[in-house]
Chain A
């Protein structure tokens, strides 16, 4: 179908204002939170209700048109980019459908912003636990698509562990209910399969989330170290002690410098080689005892000082530096790449040393700020994408870092997703048969493979798809 005709038909559903065709209007949708990737959508459509969303997806099904669902566009894997296909923006679906405090659950539309949900749950003594650093902007639908994490997922689990049910429209136009918002459900865990499917399985229309009771007591501490190695070893020691902190975050000196020179300055010690931001929560009596144990482990492990936030304002200030660290890196260079490989937590010190060696070899500036308690690294490299030499060095360094993490027994992504960015790495950790099984799983939801095409699993890994037009296109474009 010609683009103009498709746009007309879509406008018939959502209104002309909510279909964008002009390149200038589409420009903002060319990238997500990882600005190194740019793809131009053919057109963008923004339904304003559940019914409009269903109609749009059914029209696209009839037209055989591929599409890419998108929330707030804060993703960090190039996952929500539409390469000459339809971009389906869901941020207008932002109704909180119900909050059930007694049963500790809420049902929301996919465009509801993570923090907006917490602003409603908070006064009820409840919280929605997954807290990606982009919580002020990212949407619940996007969180579901990426199986988003966040600092507090160390103790509370990731998005997967906090979703009870989803109503979705599949790319075929079928409406399905996954999981159950009232109790248990027999059969395959289609809900679990859908969460983290990066927009390849369908479009969530409403999401029922679990709300967690706020912990009665929270203590936040900052331990500062004169050696990266010590901070890494203390992290491993805290995890091995069996205490499960609510969060255990690591920032190296490069990150501390940039945060402290930004508007997000949090009072981190400027001369530290690394700091650990540790939060313990639970019952007041138990937390105080754990604070003493963790403090002891930090001091024994070489911490110069362990500061405990004295009040809520101090606590929030310590967190602000961590949560806004990515933004602060904008001070260093126009572009930023970040990876989020996960490694076993006993291997932190050695892998961080390897990353430092790789950075020196390729003359790139790595800022480490990450979820240490989970072993979920975030090596960030600020750079100028318009400088081909620097871009190439960054690319090589990232490749080597990824390999080092995989060699340590790790995974290529802990919470950002594969998207476009890690498509070339997925074969490092999965065999051809495993990747083919993933293709089969995808095909069960989206037999025509029109939803978010070309993401997560390389098309050439899908045995049944070989020889299809899409696969030959990929092969032809592989060298691009």
Chain B
């Protein structure tokens, strides 16, 4: 089946026809615009190539949906704890290609930490493999990290091997109110990070996001914990000592992940974790106004994520990009002018350009999705 992708890429290369790479075409409207109507789809490449539950690894074809992956592994009491923002109808191939992760990256790392191996078709129609099917591997130069998050511009990912975890016996989502002012907020976040809890997810949500996920319309801190029953109850107790806690709705992470549906502008502001409260406050002020911006932040990573139903003014985005000196603004979904102004290319450096040239010599794979190369 990889052979069909290979053939499609070979023909496109010969004709110099650019290709838009798609998986399930269900959720990845993000990224800079790709200017082509021709596509190559891995949507039909789905299912398991290899799964030995006792190894806690699985090899699946790229078009396998996250929902199918969750079902297959769930049947064996296991899971792939990435849960990227968007929907479970999306494919694992797209998740890897776009380097997408979700709230559980606090406890399990991002997608690049959990991909063990992959197969891809390069722009000159070569089928290549990196990594392997074992959990630890340093053989050869790392094509897995290279391809993960490269948005298809170095190759069409056709198969991936993933590290799995056992589903915990017990889980709980614990919510507590977050102080509104930056200083008490910073104090509270520090206390949680130093408390005897080892969360799977640790997020700060604003009023609007909190309301969406079924909690009071106030800024809240959400903590997902899991493990054996002793570990879960000890963590609940530890959090209870920091403030009043309530149990969050069981589907709150799903609701949060799906919240960007229909959004016009989605972006992240990332910086040092200790600066999160200030960054959060600044972002809140800039976004304050008409509309109902949803915001959430990864407390451990220091990243604030903003989801807006409307188009944001360039002026507001520019102010966001400079809320603190070390911070970086990363667009996820935005109208074309914003991309051009804020981030014309993500691969402008010499090494990235050489890589693009080496792996896609005809420039046919998702051209423009990481910006233009001068």
A residues contacting B by CB (< 8 A) are 100, 102-104, 146-147, 149, 153, 157-158, 160-161, 170, 174, 176, 180, 182-190, 192-193, 195-197, 200, 213, 216, 236, 239-244, 282-286, 288-290, 342-346, 371, 374-376, 409-418, 422, 426, 429-431, 433-438, 440-445, 447, 456-457
CA distance A430 to B127 in the complex (A): 11
**Interface residue? B11 (CB, 8 A):** no
Question: Given that A103-B272, A174-B350, A242-B77 are known contacts, is A437 also in contact with B122, CB under 8 Å in the complex?
Answer: yes
Which of chain B's residues has its CB closest to A342's CB? B134
Please give, as numbers and ranges, the residues of chain A lying within 8 Å of B69 by CB-CB distance: none
- Does A182 contact B272, Cβ atoms closer than 8 Å? yes
Q: Is the CB of B230 within 8 A of A422?
A: no
Contact partners of A146 in chain B: CB under 8 A: 138
* A147–B136 CA distance with the chains assembled, in angstroms: 10
Interface string of B140-176 (1 = CB under 8 A from A): 1111011011100010000000000111100000000
On whether the beta carbons of A374 and B231 are closer than 8 Å, the reply is: no
Using a Cβ cutoff of 8 Å, how many contacts connect chains A and B? Answer: 246
The docked-state distance in angstroms from the alpha carbon of A101 to that of B352 is: 33
CA of A285 to CA of B170 in the docked complex: distance in angstroms? Answer: 14
Question: Which residues of the other chain, B, contact A414 by a CB distance below 8 angstroms?
Answer: 134, 136-138
In the complex formed, the residue of A with least CB distance to B150 is A188
Contact in complex: B347, A438 (CB < 8 Å): no
How many whole Å from B53's CB to the nearest CB in chain A?
A: 7
A434 CB contact (under 8 Å) in B57, B143, B154:
B143
Closest to A412 in B: B139
Docked-complex contact A440 and B136, CB < 8 angstroms:
no
Do B54 and A197 touch across chains, with their CB atoms under 8 A apart? Answer: no
A409 B134 Cβ-Cβ under 8 A: yes
Inter-chain contact A186/B137, CB cutoff 8 Å: no
Determine whether the beta carbon of A283 is less than 8 Å from that of B136: no
Asked whether, in the complex, the Cβ of A185 is within 8 Å of the Cβ of B138, the reply is no
18 pairs, CB–CB < 8 Å, chain A vs chain B: A147-B138, A149-B138, A182-B328, A184-B270, A195-B145, A197-B142, A239-B56, A242-B56, A342-B136, A344-B52, A409-B132, A414-B136, A414-B137, A437-B126, A437-B130, A440-B355, A443-B354, A457-B140
Residues from chain B with Cβ under 8 Å of A418 in the complex: 138-140
- Is B179 interfacial (CB-CB < 8 Å)? no
Query: Which residues of chain B (298-354) have a CB below 8 Å from chain A?
Result: 301-303, 326-328, 330, 343, 346-347, 349-352, 354
Contacts A180-B328, A376-B136; A434 near B303 (Cβ below 8 A): no
Query: Which residues of chain A come closer than 8 Å to B149, judged between CB atoms?
Result: 188-189
How long is the Cα–Cα vector from A456 to B227 in the complex, in angstroms?
41
B102 CB, nearest partner CB in chain A, Å:
14
Q: Report chain A residues within 8 Å CB of B113.
A: 157, 160-161
7 closest cross-chain pairs (CB), A and B: A242-B166, A286-B231, A192-B145, A183-B270, A182-B326, A187-B346, A444-B354
B131 (CB) vs chain A CBs: closest residue: A411
CB-based contact A182/B54 at 8 Å: no
Check B165–A430 contact: CB distance below 8 A: no
Check A241–B166 contact: CB distance below 8 A: yes
Which of the residues A158, A180, A193, A371 comes within 8 Å of B146, measured between beta carbons? A193
Report Cα–Cα, A195/B113, bound state, in Å. 13
Q: Report how far A173 CA is from B166 CA in the complex, Å.
A: 46
* B184 close to A (CB within 8 Å): no
Contact indicator A429/B132 (Cβ below 8 Å): yes
Partner of A189, one of B134, B136, B146: B146
Q: Are B231 and A188 in contact (CB under 8 A)?
A: no
Q: Among the interface residues B194, B227, B347, which one has the most CB atoms of the partner chain A within 10 A?
A: B227
Q: Is B47 in contact with chain A by the CB < 8 A criterion?
A: no
Given contacts A418-B139, A426-B139, contact A183 B272 (CB under 8 A): yes
CB neighbours of A196 from chain B (8 A)? 138, 141-142
- Tell me the nearest residue of chain A to B126, going by C-beta: A433
B137 touches A187 (CB 8 A): no
Kindly state the separation between the CA atoms of A158 and B142 in the bound complex, as whole angstroms: 14
CB distance from A55 to the nearest CB of B (A): 20
Q: Across the two chains, which residue of chain A brings its CB closest to B143?
A: A437
* Interface status of B135 (Cβ within 8 A of chain A): yes
Whether B268 is near chain A, meaning CB under 8 Å from some CB there, is: yes
* A431:B230 contact, CB within 8 angstroms: no
Pair A197/B141 contact, Cβ less than 8 Å: yes
Residues of B within 8 A of A197 (CB): 141-142
Contact of B370 among A102, A187, A289, A415 (CB under 8 A): A187
Q: Check B358 against A103 for contact (C-beta < 8 Å).
A: no
Question: Contacts of A184 on B, CB cut-off 8 Å?
Answer: 268, 270, 301, 303, 328, 330
Contact (Cβ within 8 A) B142 A192? yes
Cβ–Cβ contact A102 & B274, under 8 A:
yes
State which residues 260-286 of B face A: CB under 8 Å.
268, 270-274
Q: Within 8 Å CB of A456, what residues of B?
A: 140-141
Q: B271 to A415, Cβ gap below 8 A?
A: no
Enumerate chain A residues within 8 angstroms of B165, measured Cβ to Cβ: 242, 244
Q: Considering only CB atoms, which chain B residue lies closest to A147 in the complex?
A: B138
In angstroms, Cα B161 to Cα A342, docked, is 15
Rounded to whole angstroms, the CA-CA distance of A422 and B327 in the bound complex is 42
Report how far A436 CA is from B56 CA in the complex, Å.
Answer: 30
B191 to chain A, nearest CB (A): 13
Residue of B nearest to A190 (CB): B351
Is B133's beta carbon under 8 Å from chain A? yes
Query: Do B352 and A437 touch across chains, with their CB atoms under 8 A apart?
Result: no
Contacts of A157 in B (CB 8 A): 109, 113
Question: Is B233 in contact with chain A by the CB < 8 A criterion?
Answer: yes
Q: How far is the CB of A76 from chain B (nearest CB, A)?
A: 11
The reply to whether A283 and B270 contact each other, CB–CB distance below 8 Å, is no
Tell yes or no: B112 within 8 A of A by CB: yes
| Distance of A239 Cα from B233 Cα, bound (Å) | 24
Q: Point out which of A433, A437, A441 has the most chain B C-beta atoms below 10 A from its C-beta.
A: A437
A189 B145 Cβ-Cβ under 8 A: yes
Per-position contact with A for B354-369: 1 when CB-CB < 8 Å, else 0?
1100110000000000
